[in-house]
Amino acid sequence: MGKGISKPVGAHERQPVSLSELIHQHVRVAIETAVHEELRAALGTMRHERNEVRRGYRNGIRERTLTGPTGPVALALPRATLFRGAGGTEWTSTIVPRYQRRMPEVNEAVIATYLAGGNTRRIRGACHQGRRSGLRADSGAYRHVRQ
């Protein structure tokens, strides 16, 4: 009789979440909120608001990955078209500029590592030793040093 009965999962039984995952979630939300606010200011209206002062329209989101000191963060950044004279121009964020894949802190860390005598062999060894260094083998900084 009890073979087909499964135990229901209760709300109190949660999956463990690591601290790094929580940090990535909050960093992602903070960056996306700031970019959405920047776009709202550029357009002059809120989402779905119809107004005479509107300076453009939203047109979807773009998925991007930005590598920071805590590792890569997947972002969903908004896109928009601004009215400029006869035609429209694509809106670009000043918080996360176009083509930016790494935060300036990561670039500075890569340069400091290089100037301190670090090479790919040392970094690869540090990454494989329990990943204590904080620099992951799949991070943008690691790929940047390898090039």
pTM of the prediction? 0.65
User: Which burial class, exposed, middle or buried, applies to 82 when counting CB atoms under 10 A from its CB (0-12, 13-18, 19+)?
Assistant: middle
Strand partners, 75: 64
Greater pLDDT, 61 or 8: 61
CA angle 130, 14, 72 (to 5 degrees): 40
For range 77-105, the mean pLDDT: 86
Kindly state the tokens that stand for 25: 């979630």
* DSSP classification of residue 93: -
Q: What is the tens place of the pLDDT at every residue in 59-75?
A: 899 999 988 888 888 99
